């Protein structure tokens, strides 16, 4: 069967896919345009997509032979699950393996924002480290702080374990308990986002939520950019409504270099690197390929985001996950 891969992932997983199917890999380092993606996926039975590829109803309809979609990400907000399910196309994703790497980055962003790491680095590179003084580039402590974790799934819990090692008090919101979002925002010194993007969570942190935060508090987002109202965040930073923000994800994404948010003070932005370690990205590729191989063989995907396509079929447990 023919499989189109929209960019080559690290590791050796594609070798297993190539051994059993006809595989075409997009040759450019940049992602294919919507037209290019449609053209190359048009005759494919399998599609291995990246989180930046928009797999919408139009693309799915343009691929009549498509039998399986494997998304190289834990989230599937770039895929129209309803359109795929109407065609009985299983959609795979890669949960679990990126939990600890993303939690590590969330902690790194908290420290970078509070201790003004990027600002200090740039100051030294510009040759402006001319003296030392008792009030020179003062930041705030993470140890002993109150950390509010919005979304207490795998990644949120992993962040909680890390900050408890810093002697932090942990507040959290989740579907199964915790505190209210309003109380969390009002009490936390750090607010870190770990919920999936959905219609209910889009714009979760807007002007009203930001106004509830302490003026000494920091916002961290390693989940999805549209959870935060970008314009409201820019205003909050410029007006000093919060102390700072550190983002691994943005809206839009990628964030253009001339975007007005980048002119806001006390802002750290990195280019969506939460899972960007050699081991994690290779493990994600292994799961993405496992999902495709199973589906193309007529078997249940180990990690399927729309399991309703398997209604009436016997359950098949997936391999153990880390994180």
Q: Of 119, 183, 186, 253, which residue is the catalytic one?
A: 253
143 catalytic per annotation: no
- C-alpha distances in angstroms, 166 versus 117, 163, 170? 18, 5, 11
- 75 three-state secondary structure: coil
272 catalytic per annotation: yes
DSSP 8-state code for residue 30? S
Per DSSP, helices labelled H in the chain are 13-18, 34-41, 57-61, 81-86, 99-114, 117-125, 154-164, 181-187, 207-212, 230-238, 278-296
How many other CB atoms are there within 10 angstroms of residue 126's CB atom? Answer: 8
Strands 68-72 and 91-92 come out as parallel
54 catalytic per annotation: no
Element holding 220 (H helix, E strand): strand 218-221
Q: Could you tell me the maximum CA-CA distance found in the chain, to the nearest angstrom?
A: 71
Q: Of 7, 272, 281, 300, which residue is the catalytic one?
A: 272
Q: Of 40, 224, 281, 300, which residue is the catalytic one?
A: 224
Q: Which residues are known catalytic residues?
A: 224, 253, 272
């Amino acid at each position: 069967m023919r499989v189109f891969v929209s960019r080559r992932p690290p590791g050796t997983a594609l070798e297993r896919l190539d051994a059993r199917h006809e595989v075409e890999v997009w040759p450019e380092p940049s992602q294919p345009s919507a037209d290019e993606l449609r053209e190359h996926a048009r005759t494919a039975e399998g599609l291995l997509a990246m989180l930046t590829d928009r797999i919408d109803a139009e693309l799915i309809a343009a691929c009549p032979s498509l039998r399986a979609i494997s998304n190289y990400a834990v989230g599937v907000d770039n895929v129209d699950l309803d359109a795929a399910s109407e065609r009985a196309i299983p959609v795979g994703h890669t949960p679990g393996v990126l939990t600890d790497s993303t939690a590590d980055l969330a902690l790194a962003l908290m420290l970078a924002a509070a201790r003004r790491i990027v600002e200090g680095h740039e100051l030294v590179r510009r040759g402006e480290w001319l003296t030392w003084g008792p009030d020179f580039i003062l930041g705030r402590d993470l140890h002993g702080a109150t950390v509010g974790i919005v979304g207490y799934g795998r990644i949120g819990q992993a962040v909680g374990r890390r900050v408890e090692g810093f002697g932090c008090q942990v507040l959290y919101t989740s579907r199964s308990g915790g505190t209210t979002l309003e109380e969390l925002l009002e009490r936390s010194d750090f607010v870190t986002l770990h919920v999936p993007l959905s219609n209910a969570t889009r714009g979760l942190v807007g002007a009203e939520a930001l106004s509830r935060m302490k003026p000494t508090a920091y916002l961290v987002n390693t989940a999805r950019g549209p959870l935060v109202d970008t314009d409201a965040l820019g205003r909050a930073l410029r007006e000093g409504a919060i102390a700072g923000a550190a983002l691994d994800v943005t809206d839009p994404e990628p964030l253009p270099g001339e975007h007005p948010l980048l002119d806001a003070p006390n802002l750290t932005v990195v280019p969506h690197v939460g899972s960007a370690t050699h081991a994690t990205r290779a493990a994600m590729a292994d799961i993405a390929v496992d999902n495709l191989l199973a589906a193309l063989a007529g078997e249940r995907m180990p990690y399927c985001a729309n399991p309703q396509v398997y209604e009436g079929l016997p359950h098949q447990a997936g391999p153990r996950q880390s994180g």
